[in-house]
Structure 1
Amino acid sequence: MITWAALAALVLFSAVTYVLGRRRLTAQAGSRPHSRPGYHGAYVALWTAVPALLLLALHGGFAGRAEQALLRADTPAAVAQMTPAQQDVFFDDARAVARGAQRSETLYDPAAQAALAGKASEAQGIAQSMRLGTLALAALLAAGGFVFAYRRLTPEFRARNRVEGWIAGLLVACSVVAVLTTVGIVASLVFESARFFQSISPLDFLFGTTWDPQIAMRADQVAAKGAFGAVPLFAGTFLIMLIAMAVAAPVGLFSAIYLSEYAGGWTRAVVKPLLEILAGVPTVVYGFFAALTVGPLFRGFFNGIGEQMIGGPLNGLGLYLAQVQNQMALVAGAVMGIMLIPFVSSLSDDILNAVPQSLRDGSLAMGATRSETVKKVVLPAALPGIMGALLLAVSRAVGETMIVTMAAGLQAKTTLNPLDTVTTVTVQIVTLLTGDQEFDSPKTLSAFGLGLALFGVTLVLNVIALRIVQKYREQYD
């Protein structure tokens, strides 16, 4: 609560300093100023807010660790006899009691109970001291920043250059954060995957055809090593992705062509928002729709066909179709394709509208029809953007989890039959990391191996799409 009050006070004080900075330039008489009054006000407000804001952010991010380190600096004798895990629970309970929160249900002896009360009081004092010290230092930084910036304001001061320098620094910082986030994700995947591949051969993982990540609880169990062949998972992933793209790509692209090239203004104003509403539907709703509506509908359709074929020349196929269940790759892929239609349609429509009208006018002036213009001029010119839209849809399809879990099942199969139950890489990652897990067994670490392999496959798809875009773009630039 104090932190939010401090932020509100800092914002209010920065707004006041912005007004004071503008008025100082306005009140000064003399030659024409280098920068407008707004830049002078922004310069003062930045020096007032940014240093104090950084200090408050550091307090919010590291105050808890500093408090815990100070508590552990003087460990009571009753606590020193505990195991490291029990000590962690003890200090967490001390901090919880200091905050007035509910502590764990751990039973302590009288000596440990007295130590807990003492450490809770100490934690409360440390937290209060750190909070008050941070607020006082933040106030000093804000006041010092204001005085420093306010005294520099003169008509000749290049406030615009300084403010733009602050903005450039902010943009660089955001870029660095994005890059470091990517590097951190890849590094964590590589590190944990290396631990996994110390137990499981990479060749067995990449080319194995059996996925059964079970670790024996006892040494005499039969399935002591499990099976970690990822081929069935990638087969199910790409099967569902292909079905989804077979639905989303033509429907989304054709609807974008209609809205961009043929629809009138009123039709476009009504149809496009209706299509984009689908993008706001949660994936769990699509999962319910697949499990409760599309699945039974497809099962009834195929069961009816199979029953009519039983006893005929295709009796075996009829028996198979008569036993089709609700969960199948076709259901998950079809519903996922419906979910992806807004992505393909909206992005492709914007890309088609970005094609210069002069290209269309030139084609029509040469005697081409509207359909020929769309096929031979507009689509080739918009091909790079359309490929990007399709690639975005593919990435969304590969990463989808909820629809597959509810509509395709959890059985790992190496099959291209859309009527079979399959599973995907992302579903297995969620399954492996659900609940209390220990990150010392190949079963849990295999999730990181799957993540790294999926990252590599996605990277390859991006490179292929980029090469396709570069090849065709050269013809129309």
Structure 2
Amino acid sequence: MSVGLLLLIVIAVAALGYGLGRRRALASVQGDLRRLHSLPGYYGQSVFILTAAPALLVMLAWLLIQPLVIENHVISTIAPGSIADGSSTSLVLSDVRRMAGGLDALVARSSLSEGDIAALDANSTDVRGRLAEVGVALASDVDPAVFETAKAYRLILRTALLIMTTVVVAVTLAGLFFSLSRIRPDYRARNVSERAVIALLIASSFVAVMTTVGIVCSLVFETWHFFRLYSPEGFFFSTVWNPQFRGGSDLGIWPLVWGTLYVSFIALLVSVPIGLLAAIYLAEYASKTVRAVVKPAIEILAGIPTIVYGLFALITVGPFLRDYFAAPLGIGSSSSSVMTAGLVMGIMLIPFVSSLSDDIINAVPQSMRDGSFGLGATQSETVKQVILPAALPGIVGAILLAASRAIGETMIVVLGAGAAAKLSLNPFEAMTTITVKIVSQLTGDTEFGSPETLVAFALGLTLFVFTLALNVVALYVVRKYREQYE
């Protein structure tokens, strides 16, 4: 039985419990609702909660713990000498999973029985052909120990799924009978339901927090593994980025940091003034007709896929800047440049600044405008001295969102700025960013445990620290310069 089908069974039993609980509550008072502590629906909800929640918690815990236990057991069953030289544990385990999946597909699509699967030989030509038909290509020198481990791994998974199904169904039925036995006229079903809702809200907040913690921990742990293989001095103090997959790599981060900041600075230099001025015009000066047309037109820019912006940078903006600015001035000959990516990214970020700033400016109370006008201020003075200081926190938030979007952008940089990691002040030269290199380092045939792959996590952690510092600085600016009104 699959996990999805088991989940449907739990929900179906809980839904049945809802109806039974509601009916049992009404029957306990012969239909007189005044004798019930809670409304009949709360009794049904209490049965639903006590039936589904324990079973779902057991299923979740099982699914989280099962892979760790099974994989550790599988790894321990493989004799160290039986693994081919140069193969890491992660690669062997990946091969085991892939072969086990192929055997499952083989059983599903053919007439082979479980006994036939157990008797298969890794070096059999027939086996290779059958697995190739279901999308699993085995090398000519498949390790027999790994193949036998894949068969055992598959059998353990099937057994664990059967045990989990039995346990979850038993917990579901136990919860159903227990919750139905508690229904009485004086049973505080509403309290149970409300406490469950509060627990759900707390769990949702906890998931959001733990997701952030999990992201940070994954970056920190993998970065620690990277620094065990590559010196932190070379990473933080080298100005050369030259990953060589055969050894002798230079993995200095500063060319990538410089490219990221340079492209983002140009993008914000384009988007922030245009977006903020557009927001002020739409909120304070434009008529309703103009606002109804211009605001949706600007927001359309936010719906355009970034790959389209990248193609626009590659085909239109890049050649234009090269032919009419860089080449005549003798400062560049390539259509891929920081200026190309920065300009196009700035156009993409205009809606992020203008729409949010417009909403924040419109949220400033009209009484503040009226008071300013009553003191004799002009409209421009009111905007500068009253509205913008009051809306500063929201405007800074909009700029922060645009900055984070610029720092994390990949496709526009790939197509518009190129992939050259260098330190240069010339905006018409090709450069690259941290996000582009993260993608390039995690794609390819390199082993996951190598420094050239693990460096992607160090880059991600560095990007996270830069973004966090940006938020701290913005928070300081907001607290220092914002105007507070009662």
Could you state the TM-score of these two structures normalised by the residue count of structure 1?
Answer: 0.82
Q: Contact (CA 8 Å) 2:272, 2:399: kept in 1 or not?
A: yes
Of the candidates 289, 293, 301, which is equivalent to residue 278 of structure 1? 301
Q: Which residue of 2 aligns with 1:315?
A: none
Q: Which residue of 2 aligns with 1:311?
A: none
Task: Look up the SS of the partner of 2:446 in the other structure.
Answer: coil
Q: Contact (CA 8 Å) 2:33, 2:39: kept in 1 or not?
A: no
Query: Aligned equivalents of 1:443 and 1:116: distance in 2?
Result: 29
Of the candidates 50, 55, 60, which is equivalent to residue 52 of structure 1? 55
- Alpha carbons of structure 1 residues 67 and 260: separation in structure 2 relative to 1, 3 Å: same
Q: Which residue of 2 aligns with 1:410?
A: 419
- 1:405-444 CA distances to partner (integer Å, 9 max, x unpaired)? 1111122222232212111122222222221223554433
Q: Contact (CA 8 Å) 2:282, 2:358: kept in 1 or not?
A: yes
Query: Aligned equivalents of 2:356 and 2:313: distance in 1?
Result: 25
Shift of 1:338: 1.3
Task: Look up the SS of the partner of 1:414 in the other structure.
Answer: coil
- 1:79-103 CA distances to partner (integer Å, 9 max, x unpaired)? 9845495964467524531442544
Query: Aligned equivalents of 2:82 and 2:257: distance in 1?
Result: 50
Q: Which residue of 2 aligns with 1:288?
A: 311
Q: Which residue of 2 aligns with 1:353?
A: 362
5 Å matches for 1:28-39?
28=29, 29=32, 31=34, 33-39=36-42
Q: Contact (CA 8 Å) 1:380, 1:476: kept in 2 or not?
A: no
Q: Which residue of 2 aligns with 1:137?
A: 167
Q: Contact (CA 8 Å) 2:74, 2:149: kept in 1 or not?
A: no
- Alpha carbons of structure 1 residues 376 and 91: separation in structure 2 relative to 1, 3 Å: closer
Could you state the TM-score of these two structures normalised by the residue count of structure 2?
Answer: 0.81
Q: Contact (CA 8 Å) 1:405, 1:427: kept in 2 or not?
A: yes
Of the candidates 96, 103, 106, which is equivalent to residue 102 of structure 2? 96
5 Å matches for 1:120-131?
120=151, 126-131=156-161
**Aligned residue type for 2:13:** F
Q: Which residue of 1 aligns with 2:186?
A: 156
Query: Aligned equivalents of 1:272 and 1:70: distance in 2?
Result: 60
Q: Which residue of 2 aligns with 1:310?
A: none
Q: Contact (CA 8 Å) 1:31, 1:155: kept in 2 or not?
A: no
Q: Tell me, which stretches of 5 or more residues in structure 1 are unaligned?
A: 218-223, 307-317
Shift of 1:289: 1.1
Q: Contact (CA 8 Å) 1:94, 1:117: kept in 2 or not?
A: no
5 Å matches for 1:240-319?
240-302=263-325, 306=328, 318=329
Q: Contact (CA 8 Å) 1:352, 1:378: kept in 2 or not?
A: yes
Q: Which residue of 2 aligns with 1:366?
A: 375
Q: Which residue of 2 aligns with 1:220?
A: none
- Alpha carbons of structure 1 residues 207 and 147: separation in structure 2 relative to 1, 3 Å: same
Q: Contact (CA 8 Å) 1:71, 1:91: kept in 2 or not?
A: no
Shift of 1:68: 5.6
- Alpha carbons of structure 1 residues 163 and 438: separation in structure 2 relative to 1, 3 Å: same
Q: Identity percentage over the alignment? A: 47
Shift of 1:471: 1.1
Q: Tell me, which stretches of 5 or more residues in structure 2 are unaligned?
A: 107-133
Q: Which residue of 2 aligns with 1:312?
A: none
Q: Contact (CA 8 Å) 1:18, 1:44: kept in 2 or not?
A: yes
Q: Which residue of 1 aligns with 2:22?
A: 22
| 1:397 counterpart = 2:397 | no
Q: Which residue of 1 aligns with 2:118?
A: none
Q: Contact (CA 8 Å) 2:276, 2:353: kept in 1 or not?
A: yes
Of the candidates 460, 463, 466, which is equivalent to residue 469 of structure 2? 460
- Alpha carbons of structure 1 residues 399 and 144: separation in structure 2 relative to 1, 3 Å: same
| 1:188 counterpart = 2:194 | no
Q: Which residue of 2 aligns with 1:230?
A: 253
**Aligned residue type for 1:97:** L
Shift of 1:452: 2.6
Of the candidates 183, 202, 205, which is equivalent to residue 175 of structure 1? 205
- Alpha carbons of structure 1 residues 7 and 276: separation in structure 2 relative to 1, 3 Å: farther
| 1:422 counterpart = 2:431 | yes
Of the candidates 437, 446, 449, which is equivalent to residue 437 of structure 1? 446
- 1:271-308 CA distances to partner (integer Å, 9 max, x unpaired)? 3333333222221121111101111122222167x2xx
Aligned positions, number: 451
Query: Aligned equivalents of 1:292 and 1:40: distance in 2?
Result: 65
| 1:470 counterpart = 2:479 | yes
Q: Which residue of 2 aligns with 1:11?
A: 11
**Aligned residue type for 1:427:** V
Query: Aligned equivalents of 1:211 and 1:16: distance in 2?
Result: 62
Shift of 1:360: 2.2
Task: Look up the SS of the partner of 1:423 in the other structure.
Answer: coil
Query: Aligned equivalents of 1:383 and 1:444: distance in 2?
Result: 42
Query: Aligned equivalents of 1:36 and 1:261: distance in 2?
Result: 52
Query: Aligned equivalents of 1:397 and 1:118: distance in 2?
Result: 47
